């Protein structure tokens, strides 16, 4: 598949075709410039709301949560050398914050879910099952998942923007029309800080009192029981599995290899890194995490082209975890919901655009569009439907 050129230079395929292995390795080095810094914050629309929910509702330890994300992001950026995202697992986060099935979710249960998630994905990766299952997914179904995820992000972004519609409309128009040489994301963040201080001037005085206070997080594994792991697995980890498979394995692998064919990834490798990230996070008392395709779209939309973006945001989160954990609730308030909504909407649009090559045949287009519709409701159902619909139509059982 032809990759999209974001740089204004020669097409990526032409550049790659003219290189030997040595020059490709040189091109793949991480960058740490203004564009990468801008793209580093392209996934805040999902990260910040879930972190706030975990800290405020579930009462997770801020140091463990932030250091879990920070370390995983640094590792992903250094290993993959693309803007490979690290995100909270959305179904688990939503279930934890809303006390799913009437069970009061405790920090120990969340850590237990992380342990179960790590075991599941390490098993899928190590045995090769992740790759073999991925081979069953037809291309139209996969592209339908990507399109549906893009729409889901845009709809959630619109919901977040609705808290201040006129402000969000102005910020969205600015982001779409801005021609400034300064990366748009940094301008959006600056606008968010200004808006927050305008609405709540006292927050500036609170932030001025923040001082560094070095503190290591408490380890998570010694504080959990077998019952916590079991409850976390049944209540949180297993319901998340189909969503992670569709979004954080199939879709993100496809997106990475489409955008960065010189730095390909495999389903087996992504499954293993998902398992390792959850083992790391749960050991620190952090939350379950994955590699979501929407996060990559957000990083790329706002300028990231290498792993330098995730390394930089990972370093920032690590510093916050080790030195400002007690003050993070103040700092997170500088990201107002309308700004996060604009970021999420644009990331969703970027992701949806990547599904445009559905092929010419009617069957492929039908499967793509109907799978996308199911994805807006549930990614796991969408993957199963897409496989069934594609093969049924190919066998002539129905004609779309």
pLDDT 10s digits, 112-124: 999 999 999 999 9
Is residue 52 within 8 Å of residue 326, measured between CB atoms? no
d(CA 338, CA 371): 29
Is residue 154 within 8 Å of residue 300, measured between CB atoms? no
Is residue 16 a part of any domain in this protein? no
Q: Please tell me the chain's helix, strand, coil percentages from 3-state DSSP, rounded to the nearest 5.
A: 75, 0, 25
Say if residue 274's pLDDT is above 90.
Answer: yes
Is residue 251 a part of any domain in this protein? yes
Say if residue 95's pLDDT is above 70.
Answer: yes
Q: State residue 179's pLDDT score.
A: 55
Is residue 307 a part of any domain in this protein? yes
For the stretch 275-306, pLDDT in tens is 999 999 999 999 999 998 888 999 998 889 99
d(CA 40, CA 33): 11
For the stretch 48-61, pLDDT in tens is 888 988 988 889 99
Is residue 268 a part of any domain in this protein? yes
Helices (H) and strands (E) in the chain, counts: 22, 2
Number of domains in the chain: 1
Is residue 25 a part of any domain in this protein? no
Strand partners, 266: none
Is residue 12 a part of any domain in this protein? no
Is residue 210 a part of any domain in this protein? yes
Structural domain boundaries enclosing 349: 30-394
Is residue 56 within 8 Å of residue 107, measured between CB atoms? no
Is residue 181 a part of any domain in this protein? yes
Q: Is 289 left (phi over 0), alpha (psi -120 to 50) or beta?
A: beta
């Amino acid at each position: 598949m032809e990759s999209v050129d974001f740089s204004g230079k020669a097409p990526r395929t032409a550049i790659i075709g003219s290189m030997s292995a040595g020059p490709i390795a040189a091109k793949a080095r991480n960058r740490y410039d203004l564009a990468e810094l801008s793209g580093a914050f392209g996934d805040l629309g999902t990260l910040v709301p879930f972190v706030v929910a975990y800290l405020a509702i579930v009462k997770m330890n801020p140091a463990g949560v932030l250091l879990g994300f920070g370390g995983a992001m640094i590792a992903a950026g250094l290993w993959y050398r693309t803007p490979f995202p690290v995100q909270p697992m959305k179904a688990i986060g939503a279930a934890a914050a809303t006390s799913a099935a009437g069970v009061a979710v405790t920090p120990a249960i969340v850590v237990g879910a992380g342990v179960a998630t790590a075991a599941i994905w390490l098993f899928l990766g190590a045995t090769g099952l992740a790759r073999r299952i991925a081979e069953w997914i037809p291309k139209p179904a996969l592209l339908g998942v990507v399109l549906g995820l893009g729409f889901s992000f845009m709809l959630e972004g619109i919901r977040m923007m609705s808290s201040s519609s006129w402000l969000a409309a102005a910020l969205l128009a600015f982001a779409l029309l801005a021609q400034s040489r300064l990366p748009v994301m940094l301008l959006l963040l600056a606008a968010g800080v200004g808006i927050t201080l305008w609405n709540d001037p006292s927050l500036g005085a609170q932030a001025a009192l923040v001082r560094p206070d070095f503190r290591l997080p408490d380890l998570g594994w010694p504080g959990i029981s077998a019952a916590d792991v079991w409850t976390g697995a049944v209540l949180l980890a297993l319901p998340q599995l189909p969503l992670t498979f569709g979004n954080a394995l199939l879709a993100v692998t496809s997106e990475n290899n489409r955008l960065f064919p010189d730095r390909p990834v495999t389903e087996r490798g992504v499954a293993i890194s998902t398992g390792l990230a959850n083992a790391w996070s749960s050991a620190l008392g952090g939350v379950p995490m994955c590699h979501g395709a929407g996060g990559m779209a957000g990083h790329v939309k706002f300028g990231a082209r290498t792993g330098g973006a995730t390394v930089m945001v990972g370093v920032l989160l690590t510093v916050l975890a080790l030195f400002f954990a007690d003050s993070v609730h103040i700092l997170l308030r500088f990201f107002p919901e309308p700004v996060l909504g604009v970021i999420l909407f644009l990331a969703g649009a970027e992701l949806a655009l990547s599904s445009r090559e559905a092929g010419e045949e009617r069957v492929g287009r039908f499967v793509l569009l109907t799978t996308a519709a199911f994805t807006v409701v549930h990614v796991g159902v969408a993957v199963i439907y897409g496989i069934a619909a594609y093969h049924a139509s190919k066998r002539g059982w129905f004609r779309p």
